[in-house]
Amino acid sequence: MPLSDGRLGQYVADGRRAEIQSRVSSLLEQMTLEEKVGQLNQRSVHFVTGTEDEGAALESAVADGEVGSLLNATDLETKRHLQQLAVEESRLGIPLLIGFDVIHGYETIFPIPLAQAASWNPDLAERAERIAATEAAAAGHNWTFAPMVDVSRDPRWGRVMEGAGESPVLGSAFAEARVRGFQGEDLSDPDTVLACAKHFAAYGAVEGGREYNTVNVSETALRERHLPPFEASVQAGVGSLMNAFNVHERIPASGHESLVDGVLKGDWDFSGVLVSDWASFREQIQHGTATDRREAARKAIEAGSDIDMASEVVIDELPGLVREGDISEERLDDAVRRVLTVKGLLGLFEDPYRYFDAERREEAMLADEHREAAREAACESFVLLQNEGDRLPLDPEADVALVGALADSGEDTLGAWSFEGRPEDAITVREGLESFLDRAVPFAPGYELPGEVTEASIEAAVETATDADVAVTVVGETAAITGEAASRADIDLPGHQRRLVEALAETDTPVVAVLMNGRPLAIDWLAESVPAILDVWHPGVEGGPAVAETLFGEHVPAGHLPMSFPSSVGQVPLAHDRLPTGRPAEDAESGYTTGYIDAPNEPLFAFGHGQSYTGFAYTDLTLSTDAIDAGETLEATVTVENVGDVAGRDVVQFYVRDLVGSRSRPEKELLDFETVELAPGERADVPITIEDTDLAFWTADREWAAEPGEFDLMVGHAADDIAHTERFALLE
Ligand code: NOJ
């Protein structure tokens, strides 16, 4: 397995590569069949804290070399104790990989990943993961099950909060950045952890947005939409990938040979390790593609999956399968070699305790600079969805009333998947506002979480708002109705929050909405009821101060949506890169055009949408040439001017349309983006470079290639707000 190809190999110092490889080979020679299989067995540690028997059983399995990795361990001493058993009691003393879901921070919780993607600033995500890795590694973890790089265009799916939204281009940029952030410079540094791109593949396409459901995507959609962020992660040297729960072409991903062995380990030559999702090897039985545990283990290992997370079919069945010749020793050795190699990269053979350091842990957790980074990340992730009459920013001298239980909830400020984050460490919107204004702010919860109201709760809220100059109402989703196993069929505000907002809107006090959410919501009524909506997602531990700074204009919002907000749930799935149809909606003279009779085709807020307290104008989109040959590049430049009164950051979005292809091509799709900071009146030229490979797609010949022809390059403020278009050609 090559460590010298500059991908995974870049995370190890030159001198150590050969050493790791020879250590791995020598271990493999010494290992019994059972010891090899033990390396492929991953166990969950919550059993240690479960019954005494379960704890003792896990301890003896580790001491006997029957466990290669752990997940779900929280307590530092438990982790150290189990590592010690592996190193000191097992025959070959092979240390454990210790994995954990570090999804948007460890103790310093950052904004949810979807929010981070709204910054369109991959450097921000890299920095967030660097900090997350520093904290997780100081707490005994050497592996994180992140980043989730699933592309999704269905906000009903609760897990969209973990990803980067609907675009494979934006998703790939964030995938690479996150991998670099976790893995740092050198995986053996004590502040880096092995990353895991998940869930391979197409989990974001679960039908109806229903969790764990069937996926039914074409090969074209798989190649163009779902695989690119995984390939980008592999190119960035990610050390591990995780199987998806779903089927692809009706074959469960864990046992999908052409996906795993063919694409991942074949075409992409992935040299890291592939772990199952929780019990997904065994779940082939429930999918109806394996009769029993033995067949489930065989199909998964044969397909090229390596580690069995929690289903224990591998530890029970693989020795027999190898002895009877149903799985080759070569395949077993390949899987084990991958596991041992990542252990070598992490420096575990030299010092298996390098990730346990109480002093470093003490210094790292919630360090001032970590909180500061979390606050900046929160600010950058906020999206100003609308701001009629420049209602925002607010005047700090104004009498502000605050309404909405979410404003007072630490847990929901953090968001889902924040296991080691403590609600009491989160600064809520209420606390943030009061500390910014240095005074008490009249507050009424208005609803009980997630959204129940009573006549009395609405009355109290209306009364609180009535005397104020402006009412800030914080509405949206609790963390618990987002994330894994939290699909929603109705993506409006939960409960009766709408009744509260409508009652507030009837007062004479202007109302500004702060939206906390883990997914795009269908809230056209909200957009009609209030003049201003600031989307702050689940903003993390420093959410409150970031919201206050933004509401009062100390920070100028610059986030843009990484995922379309539908105007009604019936439009879902929808995304900016839709295909044309034979009956374009614009051909109005016939009634037989694409659309609904009871809803628009367009989203409420489009992909890329996001307002500012200033404005940006685009002029002079120029191309360095109007035709390129394969292998040549074209430079496109647009002049951006800050035409408002305050300094601000703009996200310049470039979209492309391939006019004629062997397959129908999207009406527009994101091609590239750049961010630029400008003072009032300042102008800058923003260039991008286009290569023919940027125009490639999965052609009718079933290959990844750019086809000669004409292309429209568009520059815009959002997918539905294109300022200029220029045409160029790719020559034969
Ligand atoms: C199931 C989830 O799908 C996966 O993302 C996670 O990493 C594992 N559980 C482990 O917690």
What CATH number is attached to the domain comprising 540? 3.40.50.1700
Q: Considering all CA atoms of the chain, what is the largest pairwise distance in Å, rounded to the nearest integer? A: 80
Contact 99, 144 (CB under 8 A): yes
Among 12, 62, 57, CA closest to 39: 62
Report CA(199)–ligand 1 centroid distance (Å): 9
pLDDT in tens, 466-503: 999 999 999 999 999 999 999 999 999 999 999 999 99
> Would residue 634 count as lying in a domain?
yes
**pLDDT band with cut points at 50, 70 and 90 for residue 3:** confident
Would you say residue 61 has pLDDT above 60?
yes
Mind giving me the DSSP string for 234-255?
Answer: HHTT-SEEEE-SSEETTEEGGG
Q: Using the 3D structure, point to which of 571, 600, 632 is the last residue of a domain.
A: 571
Would you say residue 194 has pLDDT above 80?
yes
One domain, residues 543 and 426? yes
* Residue 209 CB-half CA count within 13 A: 26
**pLDDT band with cut points at 50, 70 and 90 for residue 50:** low
Would you say residue 57 has pLDDT above 60?
yes
**pLDDT band with cut points at 50, 70 and 90 for residue 53:** confident
**pLDDT band with cut points at 50, 70 and 90 for residue 358:** confident
Name the residue of 145, 211, 281, 311 whose CB sits within 8 Å of the most ligand 1 atoms, as the mutation to test its pocket.
145
One domain, residues 565 and 636? no
User: Which atom from ligand 1 is nearest to the alpha carbon of 146?
Assistant: 7
Report CA(368)–ligand 1 centroid distance (Å): 30
> Would residue 631 count as lying in a domain?
yes
Q: Which of 222-236, 348-362, 617-631 has the lowest mean pLDDT?
A: 348-362
pLDDT in tens, 531-583: 999 999 999 999 999 999 999 999 999 999 999 999 999 999 999 999 999 99
Give the phi and the psi of residue 347 in degrees, each rounded to 5.
75, 20
Percent of the chain with pLDDT over 90: 94
One domain, residues 549 and 646? no
> Would residue 343 count as lying in a domain?
no
**H/E element, 174:** helix 168-183
Q: Structural domain tally of the chain? A: 2
> Would residue 213 count as lying in a domain?
no
Rounded to 5°, the CA angle 369-375-379 comes to 145
Nearest CA to ligand 1 atom 9: 278
pLDDT in tens, 21-36: 999 999 999 999 999 9
pLDDT in the model for residue 430 = 98
> Would residue 392 count as lying in a domain?
yes
Contact 380, 125 (CB under 8 A): no
Torsion from C-alpha of 149, 155, 161, 164, nearest 10 degrees: 40
One domain, residues 562 and 636? no
Report CA(119)–ligand 1 centroid distance (Å): 25
Nearest CA to ligand 1 atom 3: 277
pLDDT in the model for residue 6 = 79
Nearest CA to ligand 1 atom 4: 277
Would you say residue 367 has pLDDT above 80?
yes
User: Which atom from ligand 1 is nearest to the alpha carbon of 198?
Assistant: 5
Contact 156, 573 (CB under 8 A): no
Q: Using the 3D structure, point to which of 571, 603, 630 is the last residue of a domain.
A: 571
**Encoding tokens for residue 373?**
């980074």
Per annotation, catalytic residue among 101, 154, 277, 425: 277
Nearest CA to ligand 1 atom 10: 278
Nearest CA to ligand 1 atom 7: 145
Report CA(192)–ligand 1 centroid distance (Å): 20
Name the residue of 194, 213, 242 whose CB sits within 8 Å of the most ligand 1 atoms, as the mutation to test its pocket.
242
Percent of the chain with pLDDT over 70: 99
Beta-carbon contacts of 547 under 8 Å, excluding residues fewer than 6 positions away, are 378, 382, 429, 432, 433, 514, 534, 536, 539
Please indicate whether residue 288 or residue 358 has the higher confidence score (pLDDT). 288
One domain, residues 704 and 559? no
Name the residue of 245, 277, 420 whose CB sits within 8 Å of the most ligand 1 atoms, as the mutation to test its pocket.
277
pLDDT in tens, 617-650: 999 999 999 999 999 999 999 999 999 999 999 9
Would you say residue 589 has pLDDT above 90?
no
Q: pTM for the whole thing?
A: 0.98
Name the average pLDDT for the chain: 96
Name the residue of 160, 278, 311, 487 whose CB sits within 8 Å of the most ligand 1 atoms, as the mutation to test its pocket.
278
Rg (CA), the chain: 26
Would you say residue 93 has pLDDT above 70?
yes
One domain, residues 517 and 635? no
Please indicate whether residue 702 or residue 48 has the higher confidence score (pLDDT). 702
**Encoding tokens for residue 602?**
């367009």
One domain, residues 558 and 621? no
Report CA(278)–ligand 1 centroid distance (Å): 6
pLDDT in the model for residue 591 = 82
What is the average per-residue pLDDT within 300-307?
98
Q: What strands lie across the sheet with 532-535, from one edge to the other? A: 383-387, 532-535, 511-516, 470-476, 400-403, 443-444
**Encoding tokens for residue 728?**
């160029």
Question: What are the beta bridge partners of residue 635?
Answer: 689
548 vs 558: CA distance, rounded Å: 15
Is 524 one of the catalytic residues? Answer: no
One domain, residues 406 and 515? yes
> Would residue 461 count as lying in a domain?
yes
Would you say residue 2 has pLDDT above 80?
no
One domain, residues 403 and 545? yes
pLDDT in the model for residue 48 = 54
The residue written with tokens 């961010």 in the block is: 675
**Encoding tokens for residue 253?**
């991903």
User: Which atom from ligand 1 is nearest to the alpha carbon of 72?
Assistant: 11
> Would residue 517 count as lying in a domain?
yes
* Residue 79 CB-half CA count within 13 A: 27
Q: Using the 3D structure, point to which of 571, 604, 628 is the last residue of a domain.
A: 571
The CATH number of the domain holding residue 705 is: 2.60.40.10
Domain of 475 in residue numbering reads as 376-571
Report CA(458)–ligand 1 centroid distance (Å): 39
Would you say residue 329 has pLDDT above 80?
yes
567 vs 603: CA distance, rounded Å: 5
One domain, residues 654 and 564? no
Name the residue of 71, 101, 206, 282 whose CB sits within 8 Å of the most ligand 1 atoms, as the mutation to test its pocket.
101
Report CA(222)–ligand 1 centroid distance (Å): 22
pLDDT in tens, 108-157: 999 999 999 999 999 999 999 999 999 999 999 999 999 999 999 999 99
User: Which atom from ligand 1 is nearest to the alpha carbon of 162?
Assistant: 5
Nearest CA to ligand 1 atom 1: 278
User: Which atom from ligand 1 is nearest to the alpha carbon of 148?
Assistant: 5
Report CA(328)–ligand 1 centroid distance (Å): 29
pLDDT in tens, 395-423: 999 999 999 999 999 999 999 999 999 99
Would you say residue 1 has pLDDT above 80?
no
One domain, residues 560 and 690? no
> Would residue 403 count as lying in a domain?
yes
Q: Which of 56-70, 349-363, 557-571, 695-709 has the lowest mean pLDDT?
A: 349-363
One domain, residues 415 and 477? yes
Name every protein residue with a CB atom under 6 angstroms from any ligand 1 atom: 71, 101, 145, 198, 277-278, 484
User: Which atom from ligand 1 is nearest to the alpha carbon of 145?
Assistant: 7
Report CA(307)–ligand 1 centroid distance (Å): 14
Report CA(100)–ligand 1 centroid distance (Å): 9
